[in-house]
Structure 1
């Protein structure tokens, strides 16, 4: 009886160990840990963000305001105040960078440099940031498509980098690539992973 019990016990332990190992391999990454910081680690200097609308209104003003509102509606410490006196931390704008520029949206500093370096991860942007839409692409986008790009670029200003755990139901706003993010998945506002990221940063 004892001779039979030990092999069975060993087999049971081996089976349970194998099942546990397979669970680690097969189970997806927790959405709470999927978000990433932007390269360089910069972030907004404050959660009370002052922003400036430099779009000139028209077909770009409403999507820009909707993008800001989508971030303000999240369960995070963020708040946004529209200002016109030059005291802003973030501006939203549009320009034609041409089709040679592969991006529908981009963040620039007020001195025209992409992604300036910070003094370290968690440090504020050293200068004012402008979230641009490249009209060479975005003139053909619907309003929610423009909102998707603005909201994505605002996420970069807030400190979030590109990430994505699919399929559509779990993709974040910070997924790189308009064609999948909005074109296929219809994402135009922050989702749970993006919110987790902001709460992780601030």
Structure 2
């Protein structure tokens, strides 16, 4: 089954979703399949260019240093929980997306979560621009949904538009994002 939510495809079956209150955060959990775990292994796609690897490493580092989430490299022979890549998707109107292979009855990912940057847009972004898209998409992988407003004051990285960066200059998880992530793990 494929579920489409704001341009994002989720592959798998979702029987039920668990909503966990995020305390003081409004970066809400939705019915999408998230990791909902404090430690998650990751792997980069083979052949991924160094500029995208740097953006991915920096993005996971921002979550690691600012929240209770810990992304760690997958060990040799281990199946990763997060697979980071970049593709050209000409027909899409988004600069990043994530998909989950499969979800359990609680809405937790039981497979690999794929996090992708759309090179059609991001090839022209600065390194910070690429990084903020990956930080945002990793937030979805954690289990956070879109939230916030167009006002730059207090706008979370989980705001649904890249104006979070191009207008407001946000690259890292903000307080709301961190509170939401910590509530999930």
TM-score class, shorter: 0.7 to 0.9
- Deviation string 1:158-186 (CA, Å, 9 cap, x unpaired) is 000000045212100000111x1110011
Quote the Cα distance in structure 2 between the aligned partners of 1:175 and 1:49: 23
CA contact (8 A) 1:41 1:118 kept: no
Structure number, greater radius of gyration = 1
- Deviation string 1:6-56 (CA, Å, 9 cap, x unpaired) is xxxxxxxxxxxxxxxxxxxxxxxxx9242211x315321531110101162
Q: Does 1:137 align with 2:121?
A: yes
More helix per residue: 1
How many correspondences in the alignment? 161
More strand per residue: 2
Q: Does 1:150 align with 2:157?
A: no
Aligned 1:5-154 pairs, distance under 5 A: 32-37=24-29, 39-44=30-35, 46-54=37-45, 56-76=48-68, 78-83=69-74, 84-98=76-90, 100-110=91-101, 118-120=104-106, 123-154=107-138
Please list every run of 5 or more consecutive structure 1 residues that lacks an aligned counterpart in the other structure.
1-30, 111-115
Q: Does 1:181 align with 2:164?
A: yes
Quote the Cα distance in structure 2 between the aligned partners of 1:186 and 1:197: 21
Quote the Cα distance in structure 2 between the aligned partners of 1:187 and 1:85: 36
TM-score normalised by structure 2 residue count: 0.79
Q: 1:170 to 1:106 in 2, by over 3 A?
A: same
RMSD: 1.9
Deviation at 1:145, TM superposition (A): 0.4
Please list every run of 5 or more consecutive structure 2 residues that lacks an aligned counterpart in the other structure.
1-22
TM-score normalised by structure 1 residue count: 0.73
Aligned to 1:21: none
Q: 1:75 to 1:108 in 2, by over 3 A?
A: closer
